[in-house]
Amino acid sequence: MMPDRIVIVGAGQAGLQAAVSLREVGHSGPITLIGDEPGLPYQRPPLSKAFLLGKIPASGLDLRSPDFLAAQRIDLAGADPALVLDRAGKTVRLASGRELAYDHLVLATGARRRELAASGSNLPGIHYLRSRADAEALKARLGGAERAVVVGAGFIGLEFAAVAADLGFACTVVEAAPVLLGRAVSRATADHVRAMHEARGTRFLFGEGVARFEAGADGRVAKAVTSSGDALEADLVLVGVGVIANDGLAAESGLATDGGIVVDRRLRTSDPDISAIGDCAVAPHPQSERPLRIESVQNAIDQGRHLARVLAGADEAYAALPWFWSDQGGIKLQIAGLIHGHDRTVLRGDPQSGRFSVFCYRGTRLLGVESVNRPADHMAARRFVGTSLAPVFAEASDESLDLKRFLPAA
C-alpha cells in the first residue's frame, strides 16, 4: 500500500521531481517539500552558464511556479532546514521548531561545496558556485573583474573559465591533476576541451594547488600563491573543487552512509520507511561494479521518478542510463553511460572539425559515448549504451555505418 504522508527533505531537482512524480502515479496523500534555501526550487546548470552571462534572469531558473505547486498540493516549506530526524517517532523537526510526521521520508538533500583549507580562503573576492545565492554574488563581481584565478579544472571551473573568456577577462586555471576533467572524460575529449580553452586565452597550471591567498590594500583577494610559489594576480577567484554529499541528517539518525546516503536498488536506505535520491544518494547501478553517487540532473530526475513508481508498488531496480552535459565556449559536451575504467576508444568524426564522438570500451563492452557538438550521436548512444544492441569495437570504427542501425526497433 502506498504510504500516506510523504515528507521530502531537500527542495532541489530530485526532491521536486519526486513530489511531481508521486502525483503522476496517483498519490493523493499530503506531500511536504522541505527546503533550506529561500524561493522556489530552481535548476542549477544555468548558474555556471546562461545566468552568469546575463542570458537568463534569476526568475528563469525556477523549476515550477507557485500555482503549479498549489494545484498539485505540494506544500513547500522553504528556508526552514530539517535539523533532527527521529526515526522511532517517524518525525522530522525543522529549524523553525515545526515538527512533521511522515509515513515515508525522502532524503533529497543534495551536496554542498567542498571548501579550500588554504590560508586566506575567506578573503572577499573568493567565490564558490553551488547555489543561486552563490551565483548572484559571483555575477555581481564580473563587471569589474580583470584577472580571475579558477581553482579546479572540473566542469564548474571550466564552465566559469569559458564565461570569463566570453566576458573578456583573463583567467588562469590551477589544477592539481595532470589533466582537466581527469576522472570524467577520455583523454581525447580532455585534450580537445583544453585546446579550445587555450585558444580562447585561458591559461592552465596543471599539477599545482593554491598554497595561500593574499589580500591587497583594500582587503580583497589580490594574489593566489601556488604550491610551487608562483604568485598569480587575481581580483576574482572561483573555487570549484567538488562537492560533499549532505548526509549528516541521515548519519546522525543512524542510517548507513558511505560518502553519501547508502540505498538499495529500489532507493531505500537502511530504514525501509526512508529513501534517498539525487546527489546525496549512493546507489547500486547495473553498469557499475560498485555503488555510485552521481551528480547530474538526469540522475536527480530519473531517481525521483523511479522512487515514485516504487512507492506506488512497482518492484523495479533503478537502472536508468546515466547521461550528462556541459556547455563550454561553443563546445556542447554530452556523455552517455559511465566511461570510467575504459581501456580503449574509437574516435568517430574529426576533432579538427570541432564535431566528434569518442566511444569508450572496456574490452568488448561499450561503457559510454562522449559527443562534442554531435547531439545526434549522443541521442543514439542513450538508446544503445548498456544494451546488447551497442556497436562492437570494429563496428564503431567504421564511419560508414549509420548509428541508427544500432537503435532498438521503435
Ligand X SMILES: Cc1cc2nc3c(=O)[nH]c(=O)nc-3n(C[C@H](O)[C@H](O)[C@H](O)COP(=O)(O)OP(=O)(O)OC[C@H]3O[C@@H](n4cnc5c(N)ncnc54)[C@H](O)[C@@H]3O)c2cc1C
Site residues, ligand X (CB under 6 A): 9-15, 34-37, 44-45, 47-48, 81-82, 108-111, 129-130, 156, 246, 249, 278-279, 295-298, 300, 324-326
Neighbours of 295 (CB within 10 A): 17
Give the nearest distance from C-beta 399 to ligand X in angstroms: 29
Report d(CA 196, CA 47) in Å as an integer: 21
The DSSP code for 227 is T
Give the nearest distance from C-beta 389 to ligand X in angstroms: 25
Distances (CA, A) of 244 to 70, 112, 177, 352: 32, 5, 19, 37
Report d(CA 235, CA 308) in Å as an integer: 47
Which CB atom, from 105 or from 222, has the smaller least distance to ligand X? 105
Which CB atom, from 43 or from 288, has the smaller least distance to ligand X? 43
Give the nearest distance from C-beta 179 to ligand X in angstroms: 20
Rounded to the nearest 10 degrees, the angle between the axes of helix 13-24 and helix 297-311 is 40
Which CB atom, from 128 or from 361, has the smaller least distance to ligand X? 128
Number of H helices, E strands in the chain: 9, 25
Beta-carbon contacts of 200 under 8 Å, excluding residues fewer than 6 positions away, are 162, 165, 329
Which CB atom, from 16 or from 205, has the smaller least distance to ligand X? 16
Which CB atom, from 21 or from 226, has the smaller least distance to ligand X? 21
Give the nearest distance from C-beta 98 to ligand X in angstroms: 12
* Burial class of residue 391, CB neighbours in 10 A (0-12, 13-18, 19+): buried
Nearest residue to ligand X on Cβ basis:
12
Which CB atom, from 68 or from 397, has the smaller least distance to ligand X? 68
Give phi and psi for 68, each to the nearest 5.
-60, -45
Give the nearest distance from C-beta 33 to ligand X in angstroms: 9
Give the nearest distance from C-beta 157 to ligand X in angstroms: 10
Which CB atom, from 73 or from 98, has the smaller least distance to ligand X? 98
Which of 95, 103, 97 is CA-nearest to residue 32? 103
Give the nearest distance from C-beta 352 to ligand X in angstroms: 25
Q: Which helix (H) or strand (E) holds 325?
A: strand 323-328
* Burial class of residue 89, CB neighbours in 10 A (0-12, 13-18, 19+): exposed
Which CB atom, from 107 or from 396, has the smaller least distance to ligand X? 107
Q: Which helix (H) or strand (E) holds 32?
A: strand 31-34
Beta-carbon contacts of 218 under 8 Å, excluding residues fewer than 6 positions away, are none
Give the nearest distance from C-beta 129 to ligand X in angstroms: 5
Which CB atom, from 175 or from 279, has the smaller least distance to ligand X? 279
Give the nearest distance from C-beta 88 to ligand X in angstroms: 19
Beta-carbon contacts of 91 under 8 Å, excluding residues fewer than 6 positions away, are 99, 100, 101, 102
